[in-house]
C-alpha cells in the first residue's frame, strides 16, 4: 500500500477519534442505558479465618454461595446452591441474604424478603447444615415472617423476632420458646427497634447474644404514647393507609428498656437504665465477659454520653445496677458510633471522641481514665475500621493530607498499654503515638477499606473526581496484592465523551471562613463570556459534597449541564465535617442560618467572577439539600433566581426528634431556632423560579413538608412548579422514575435559567 493511502487512513482515524471525543452526555446515557455504569465489588463476606471470603453469585441453577481465597481470588468451593431450598407452593425459592454461624458449619438464608424501612426487613429463614446438606425452616412460616434471625455463638439455636416478640428456636430438639409475649404493633417492640432509632442511630437489630451464648440482651420499646403518622399508597380502587409511630421534634419518644434473658434458667433481668424519663440507649454491646454487658446512654439533648456496664454475677433476677466506666459532656452534641472495642486484657477499651476539637481515637481503662490518645492532630478520623487485638493494631481512614481526600492508616497501640512498674502509668505518652502511624494507601485520592476478619487483608476502594473506582486487594502492611476491578471499560467510554475538569479550590467568605468548593466550567469555556451557574448543595451536619471522589450518576448530570453552557459549583458550608469540631458544630441551635449565609456569600463570590452572570444563579438540593435550596430561594432571594428542592424539610417541627433535637434542642426550648430557619416562614421573600418535588410515600422527610410549603406559597401568592411521585419513598427511584425526575429538573433549569 502506498504512502498516500496511509496518510488518508490516518486522517480518517483522527477525524473519527475527534468526533468520538465530541460526544455529549444525555440523560438516557445516565439513567436508562447504563452507559456510565461502573464496576464495583460488593457483597463480600470475610470468613472467620480472614484468608477466605464468600460471595453470592448467579449461576445457571440459581443463586449460590461461593468461597474464594483473598490472596488469589480463586474460587475453591461452592458452599450452597438455591436449588437445595425446598420448593414453595409458588415454585422454586431463592435467597436474598445469608449469614454463617460462629464456626461456619451452618448458614441462615433469607427467602421472600420484604423491606420495612431503610435498613429493616422481614423474611422466611431457612437453616442449612453444610456437612449434612439438611435444610429446614427455622420456624413455622404460617405464623408470619421473621426478622433479624441470628445463630447462637455456641449452639445450634437461632433467635429471631416475629410480630414484635423475641423467639429462640433449638434446631436440634425442634423446641421453640417465646422469650417475650407482649409485643404488639404500634405499642410494644421486643428485640427490634422503633423507626426513629433505626433511622437516626443507624441500626435495626435489637437483640444480642452473649459471647458464650448463655444469655440474650434485648431492647423493649414501649411506643404506645408516640404519635402516629399516616401515609397513603395509591395501589387500587381505594388508597391503602399505612400507619406507623414517628416522634416529631419535641414530641414523646418511646420508653426504652434493656432486658436480659438467661437461657438455662429462663429468668429475666432488667438493666436499671431509667434514671430519667427522656433519654436514649443507642447501643448495647457485650464485653468479653459472658456476664457483663455494656450500654451507651444519652440524655435527650444528646450532649451527655455514658458507657455503663451491668454484671450478672451473684445478682438475683430483677433490676441490675449499672456502673459508669466512661462519661463525656459537650456544650453542643455528641454523635454515636460503633467504635467501642473491649480489649482482651479486660482492663481497657477503645473509643473515639471529638473532645480535643477533632475526631480522634483513644484508649480508656475500665474506670474511665484516659490511657492514651492514639491519634492526634488537626485532622479528622473519618472511619474507624476496627482493631486487631492480637497484634494490637488499629485501622482507620483519615483526611490528613488534605480535607478533600482520604487515606487508610494502621497504628500500633501496644506501647500505649505498657505501664511503668512503679507508677503504674503508661510508659509512652499519647504525643508519641504518631510514630506508629503507617499510611497504607500511598496516593492523593479518596480511599476506603473493607478489612478481612483477621485484618490480614483489606479491599481498597480508590477513586477521585476524574477516576472511577479502582478496587484492589492489599495486605494489611499496605502492599498491593492484586486488582479486583479497574473500570477500564468505563475509562475507555469516558474517552469518547466531553468530560470536563472538576476544579477544586478554597475561598474565604466575607466573615473570614475558608470553604472548600469544586467547579465545572462549560465546554469550550471562554473567560470573556458570561455563563449561568448552578450550585449543587447538601450542606447538612457532618456531610460533605466537596471530596476528591467518584461522583457516580450525579457527576454525569453535572457534566451534561456544563456541556450545555452552565457553570456547576458545589460548596461545603459551615456545619460540614473534615475541618474540626468547631467548624462542624458552629450551626448548633440555628440549623440552616450559617449555611444559608455561606451560600449567599458563595453566590456573591462566584457571581462576582467575570465569566459568571450574577443575574442567573440557581441552586439544587435533595433532602437537607432541598431544605437549603429552599432557604436560598427565600432568604437569599436577591441572589438566587432558581431553586429545585427534592424531598425537602420545610419546617424542622415536622422532622423526627433524635436528628432535629441533636442540633436544635426541642421547639419548646428553642422556638426561634426552628422558626427563623424554616423556609415555610419566608416564602413571602421568594422571587425566583421554584420547583418542588416529593415522593408521596416518604417515611423519612414526610410529604407533609411539601404540602405545608404549598399552603404557604399559595397564601403568599407565589407561583411555583410542583411534581409528586406517587408511592415513592425518600429516594424517589424505581423503573423509569429517575430518568423522569432528572428530565423534569433539566428542563426546568434550561427553561428558567
pLDDT digits (tens, 9 = 90+) for 254-273: 999 999 999 999 999 999 99
Same-domain status, 581 and 668:
yes
Q: How many CA atoms lie within 13 A of 329 on its CB side?
A: 1
Alpha carbon of 270 to those of 38, 220, 262, 321, 322: distances in Å? Answer: 49, 10, 11, 9, 11
Q: Which residues, 6 or more positions from 296, have their beta carbon under 8 angstroms from its beta carbon?
A: 281, 282, 283, 305, 306, 307, 308, 336, 340
Q: Is a pLDDT exceeding 70 seen at residue 732?
A: yes
Q: What is the pLDDT of residue 421?
A: 54
Q: Is a pLDDT exceeding 60 seen at residue 289?
A: yes
R_g (Cα) of the chain, nearest Å: 28
Is the distance from CB of 644 to CB of 620 less than 8 angstroms?
A: yes
Average pLDDT over residues 34-62: 91
Please tell me the total number of residues recorded for the chain in this structure.
753
Q: Is a pLDDT exceeding 80 seen at residue 434?
A: no
Residue 625 lies in a domain: yes
CATH number, residue 96:
2.120.10.30
Tell me which H or E stretch contains 196. helix 195-200
Same-domain status, 164 and 186:
no
pLDDT digits (tens, 9 = 90+) for 53-103: 999 998 877 889 999 999 999 999 999 999 999 987 777 889 999 999 999
159: nearest Cα among 178, 185, 173, 133: 178
Alpha carbon of 741 to those of 465, 694, 695, 722, 744: distances in Å? Answer: 24, 10, 11, 12, 5
Alpha carbon of 237 to those of 53, 234, 382, 390, 725: distances in Å? Answer: 49, 8, 49, 62, 18
138: nearest Cα among 112, 172, 115: 172
Q: What is the pLDDT of residue 418?
A: 79
Structure confidence at residue 11 as a pLDDT band (50, 70, 90): very low
The grid coordinates listed for 315 are 445478682
Q: Is a pLDDT exceeding 50 seen at residue 133?
A: yes
The strand pair at 62-69 and 52-59 is best described as antiparallel
556: nearest Cα among 530, 536, 575: 536
Give CA–CA dist 686/707, Å, rounded. 17
Q: What is the pLDDT of residue 88?
A: 77
Residue 234 lies in a domain: yes
Same-domain status, 193 and 168:
no
Give CA–CA dist 662/329, Å, rounded. 13
pTM: 0.94
Is the distance from CB of 279 to CB of 298 less than 8 angstroms?
A: yes
Residue in this structure with the C-alpha cell 447462637, named with its chain if needed: 152
Lowest average pLDDT, out of 81-90, 174-183, 233-242, 302-311, goes to 81-90
Helix-helix angle 624-634:593-607, to 10 degrees? 60
The grid coordinates listed for 666 are 426541642
pLDDT above 90: percentage of residues in the chain: 88
Structure confidence at residue 436 as a pLDDT band (50, 70, 90): confident
Residue 14 lies in a domain: no
Residue in this structure with the C-alpha cell 431503610, named with its chain if needed: 118
Q: Which residues, 6 or more positions from 82, have their beta carbon under 8 angstroms from its beta carbon?
A: 61, 62, 63, 64, 92, 93, 94, 95
Q: What is the pLDDT of residue 1?
A: 46
Give CA–CA dist 456/474, Å, rounded. 9
DSSP characters for 223-273?
-TTSPEEEEEE--SSSPEEEEEE--BTTSPPPEEEEEEEETTT--EEEE--
231: containing domain:
181-336
Same-domain status, 236 and 259:
yes
Q: What is the pLDDT of residue 9?
A: 43
Q: Which residues, 6 or more positions from 1, have their beta carbon under 8 angstroms from its beta carbon?
A: none
Q: What is the pLDDT of residue 432?
A: 64
Strand partners, 190: 220
Q: Give the residue from 160, 178, 196 where a domain finishes.
A: 178
Average pLDDT over residues 679-699: 97
Same-domain status, 597 and 513:
yes
Same-domain status, 121 and 196:
no
180: nearest Cα among 144, 145, 217: 217
Q: Give the residue from 178, 193, 228 where a domain finishes.
A: 178
Average pLDDT over residues 517-529: 96
Q: What is the pLDDT of residue 124?
A: 96
Same-domain status, 598 and 735:
yes
Tell me which H or E stretch contains 739. helix 737-752
Structure confidence at residue 429 as a pLDDT band (50, 70, 90): low
Lowest average pLDDT, out of 437-451, 558-572, 632-646, goes to 437-451
Same-domain status, 520 and 615:
yes
Same-domain status, 537 and 589:
yes
Residue predicted with more confidence, 476 or 414: 476
Q: Which residues, 6 or more positions from 99, have their beta carbon under 8 angstroms from its beta carbon?
A: 107, 108, 149, 150, 151
Q: What is the pLDDT of residue 431?
A: 56
Q: What is the pLDDT of residue 257?
A: 96
Residue 568 lies in a domain: yes
Q: Looking at the 3D structure of the chain, how many domains does it have? A: 4
Residue 75 lies in a domain: yes
CB-based burial label for 693 (10 Å; 0-12, 13-18, 19+)? buried
Same-domain status, 170 and 187:
no
Q: Is a pLDDT exceeding 60 seen at residue 16?
A: no
Average pLDDT over residues 391-399: 95
CB-based burial label for 262 (10 Å; 0-12, 13-18, 19+)? middle
Alpha carbon of 358 to those of 307, 373, 379, 670: distances in Å? Answer: 20, 12, 6, 27
DSSP characters for 105-169?
SEEEEEEEEEE-SSS-EEEEEEEEETTT--EEESS-GGG--BEEEEE-SSSSEEEEEETTEEEEE
Q: What is the pLDDT of residue 354?
A: 96
CB-based burial label for 421 (10 Å; 0-12, 13-18, 19+)? exposed
Strand partners, 283: 296
Q: Is a pLDDT exceeding 50 seen at residue 205?
A: yes
Structure confidence at residue 233 as a pLDDT band (50, 70, 90): very high
Average pLDDT over residues 414-437: 69
Residue 438 lies in a domain: yes
Residue 373 lies in a domain: yes
User: Residue 82, SS3?
Assistant: helix
Residue 361 lies in a domain: yes
pLDDT digits (tens, 9 = 90+) for 323-372: 999 999 999 999 999 999 999 988 999 999 999 999 999 999 999 999 99
pLDDT digits (tens, 9 = 90+) for 139-192: 999 999 999 999 999 999 999 999 999 999 999 999 999 999 999 999 999 999
Q: Give the residue from 336, 365, 384 where a domain finishes.
A: 336
Q: Is a pLDDT exceeding 80 seen at residue 227?
A: yes
Return the HEC string of 622-672: ECHHHHHHHHHHHCCCCCCCEEEEECCCCCHHHCEHHHHHHHHCCCCCCHH
Same-domain status, 174 and 186:
no
Lowest average pLDDT, out of 86-90, 248-252, 465-469, goes to 86-90
Q: What is the pLDDT of residue 20?
A: 45
pLDDT digits (tens, 9 = 90+) for 566-589: 999 999 999 999 999 999 999 999
Helix-helix angle 552-563:737-752, to 10 degrees? 30
Same-domain status, 385 and 321:
no
The grid coordinates listed for 254 are 418511646
CATH number, residue 269:
2.140.10.30
619: nearest Cα among 548, 679, 689: 689
Amino acid at each position: 500500500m502506498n504512502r498516500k493511502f496511509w496518510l488518508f487512513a490516518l486522517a480518517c482515524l483522527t477525524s473519527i477519534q475527534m468526533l468520538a471525543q465530541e460526544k455529549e452526555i444525555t440523560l438516557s446515557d445516565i439513567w436508562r442505558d447504563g452507559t456510565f455504569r461502573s464496576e464495583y465489588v460488593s457483597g463480600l463476606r470475610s470468613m472467620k479465618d480472614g484468608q477466605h471470603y464468600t460471595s453470592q453469585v448467579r449461576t445457571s441453577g440459581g443463586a449460590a454461595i461461593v468461597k474464594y481465597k483473598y490472596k488469589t481470588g480463586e474460587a475453591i468451593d461452592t458452599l450452597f446452591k438455591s436449588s437445595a431450598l425446598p420448593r414453595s407452593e409458588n415454585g422454586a425459592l431463592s435467597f436474598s441474604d445469608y449469614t454463617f454461624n460462629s464456626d461456619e458449619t451452618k448458614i441462615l438464608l433469607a427467602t421472600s424478603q420484604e423491606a420495612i424501612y431503610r435498613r429493616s426487613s422481614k423474611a422466611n429463614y431457612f437453616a442449612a447444615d453444610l456437612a449434612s446438606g439438611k435444610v429446614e425452616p427455622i420456624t413455622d412460616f404460617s405464623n408470619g415472617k421473621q426478622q433479624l434471625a441470628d445463630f447462637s455463638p455456641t449452639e445450634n439455636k437461632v433467635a429471631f423476632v416475629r410480630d414484635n416478640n423475641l423467639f429462640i428456636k433449638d434446631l436440634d430438639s425442634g423446641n421453640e420458646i417465646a422469650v417475650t409475649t407482649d409485643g404488639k404493633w404500634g405499642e410494644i417492640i421486643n428485640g427490634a427497634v422503633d423507626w426513629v432509632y433505626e433511622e437516626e442511630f443507624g441500626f435495626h437489630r435489637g437483640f444480642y447474644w452473649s459471647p458464650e451464648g448463655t444469655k440474650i440482651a434485648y431492647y423493649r420499646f414501649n411506643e404506645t404514647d408516640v404519635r402516629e403518622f399516616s401515609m397513603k399508597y395509591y395501589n387500587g380502587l381505594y388508597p391503602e393507609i399505612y400507619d406507623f409511630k414517628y416522634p416529631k421534634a419535641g414530641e414523646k419518644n418511646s420508653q426504652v428498656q434493656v432486658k436480659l434473658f438467661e437461657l438455662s434458667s429462663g429468668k429475666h433481668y432488667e438493666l436499671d437504665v431509667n434514671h430519667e424519663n427522656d433519654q436514649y440507649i443507642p447501643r448495647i454491646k457485650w464485653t468479653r465477659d459472658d456476664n457483663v454487658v455494656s450500654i451507651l446512654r444519652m440524655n435527650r439533648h444528646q450532649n451527655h454520653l455514658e458507657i455503663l456496664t451491668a454484671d450478672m454475677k451473684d445478682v438475683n433476677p430483677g433490676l441490675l445496677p449499672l456502673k459508669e466506666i466512661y462519661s463525656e459532656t459537650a456544650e453542643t452534641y455528641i454523635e454515636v458510633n460503633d467504635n467501642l472495642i473491649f480489649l482482651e486484657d479486660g482492663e481497657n477499651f477503645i473509643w473515639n471522641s471529638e473532645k480535643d476539637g477533632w475526631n480522634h481515637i483513644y484508649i480508656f481503662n475500665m474506670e474511665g481514665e484516659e490511657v492514651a490518645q492514639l491519634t492526634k492532630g488537626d485532622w479528622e478520623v473519618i472511619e474507624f475500621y476496627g482493631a486487631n487485638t492480637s497484634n494490637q493494631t488499629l485501622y482507620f481512614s483519615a483526611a490528613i493530607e488534605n480535607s478533600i481526600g482520604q487515606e487508610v492508616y494502621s497504628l500500633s497501640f501496644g506501647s500505649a498499654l505498657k505501664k511503668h512498674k512503679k507508677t503504674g502509668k503508661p510508659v509512652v505518652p499519647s504525643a508519641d503515638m504518631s510514630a506508629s502511624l503507617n499510611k497504607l494507601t500511598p496516593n492523593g485520592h479518596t480511599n476506603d477499606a473493607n478489612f478481612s476478619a483477621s485484618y490480614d487483608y483489606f479491599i481498597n476502594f480508590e477513586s477521585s473526581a476524574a477516576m472511577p473506582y479502582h478496587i484492589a486487594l492489599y495486605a494489611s502492611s499496605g502492599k498491593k496484592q492484586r486488582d479486583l476491578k479497574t473500570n477500564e471499560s468505563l475509562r475507555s467510554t469516558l474517552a469518547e465523551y466531553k468530560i470536563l475538569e472538576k476544579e477544586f479550590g478554597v475561598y474565604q467568605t466575607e466573615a473570614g471562613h475558608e470553604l472548600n468548593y469544586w467547579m465545572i466550567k462549560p465546554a469550550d469555556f471562554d473567560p470573556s463570556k458570561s455563563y449561568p451557574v448552578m450550585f449543587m448543595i447538601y450542606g447538612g451536619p457532618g456531610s460533605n459534597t466537596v471530596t476528591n471522589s467518584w461522583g457516580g450518576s450525579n457527576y454525569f448530570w453535572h457534566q451534561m449541564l456544563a456541556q450545555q453552557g452552565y457553570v456547576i459549583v458545589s460548596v461545603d458550608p459551615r456545619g460540614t465535617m473534615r475541618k474540626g469540631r468547631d467548624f462542624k458544630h458552629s450551626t448548633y441551635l440555628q440549623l440552616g442560618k450559617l449555611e444559608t449565609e455561606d451560600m449567599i456569600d458563595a453566590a456573591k463570590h462566584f457571581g462576582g467572577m467575570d465569566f459568571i452572570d450574577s443575574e442567573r444563579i440557581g441552586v439544587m438540593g435533595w433532602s437537607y439539600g432541598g431544605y437549603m435550596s429552599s432557604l436560598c430561594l427565600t432568604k437569599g432571594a436577591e441572589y438566587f433566581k432558581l431553586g429545585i428542592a427534592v424531598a425537602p424539610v420545610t419546617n424542622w417541627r415536622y422532622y423526627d426528634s433524635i436528628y432535629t433535637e441533636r442540633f436544635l434542642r426541642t421547639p419548646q426550648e428553642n422556638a426561634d431556632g426552628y422558626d427563623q430557619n424554616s423556609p415555610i416562614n419566608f416564602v413571602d421573600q421568594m422571587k425566583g423560579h421554584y420547583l418542588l418535588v416529593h415522593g408521596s410515600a416518604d417515611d423519612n422527610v414526610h410529604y407533609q413538608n411539601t404540602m405545608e410549603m404549598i399552603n404557604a406559597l399559595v397564601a403568599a401568592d407565589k407561583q411555583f412548579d410542583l411534581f409528586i411521585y406517587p408511592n415513592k419513598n425518600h429516594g424517589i427511584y424505581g423503573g423509569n422514575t429517575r430518568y423522569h425526575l432528572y428530565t423534569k429538573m433539566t428542563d426546568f433549569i434550561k427553561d428558567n435559567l
